[in-house]
């Protein structure tokens, strides 16, 4: 019995009996756990945002790379012809192309 009185008489319990402290504790619990936009939801959104920003940087670098390649190709017709021959195996009229494939042994 004496132990129970000590627990109820402790200074921490007196703070919990205060209605303002109790309100702050309930409000904090509500925001962190119970709310629709709780802490877990905010963490997931932040993670998704960082992934989207990484993808944005990746695509911006790819766009820059393609623009450099485009300017290189269209500066002269020789570059364009070389690209067409190498990438799409295009050829001139009356010309034969032989593709040599080495065995991977």
Encode the chain (105 residues) as per-residue pLDDT tens digits: 667 667 666 766 777 778 888 899 888 888 888 888 888 888 999 999 999 999 999 999 999 999 999 999 889 888 888 888 888 877 888 888 777 888 876
Check residue 64 and give its pLDDT.
Answer: 98
For the chain, how many residues are written? Answer: 105
Does 28 share its domain with 76? no
Check residue 62 and give its pLDDT.
Answer: 98
The model's pTM is 0.55
Does residue 104 belong to any structural domain of this protein? no
Q: How many domains are contained in the chain?
A: 2
Check residue 1 and give its pLDDT.
Answer: 60
Does 61 share its domain with 48? yes
Q: Which residues of 40-49 are buried (b: 16+ CB within 10 A; e: fewer)?
A: eeeeeeeeee
**Rounded CA gap, 70 and 79, in Å?**
10
Does residue 105 belong to any structural domain of this protein? no
């Amino acid at each position: 019995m004496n132990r129970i009185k000590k627990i109820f008489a402790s200074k921490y319990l007196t703070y919990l009996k205060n209605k303002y402290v109790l309100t702050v504790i309930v409000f904090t619990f509500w925001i962190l756990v119970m709310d629709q936009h709780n802490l877990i939801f905010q963490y997931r959104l932040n993670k998704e945002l960082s992934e989207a920003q990484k993808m944005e940087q990746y695509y911006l670098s790819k766009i820059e790379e393609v623009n450099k390649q485009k300017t290189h190709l269209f500066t002269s017709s020789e570059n364009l012809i070389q690209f067409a021959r190498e990438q799409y195996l295009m050829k001139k009229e009356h010309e034969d192309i032989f593709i040599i494939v080495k065995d991977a042994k």
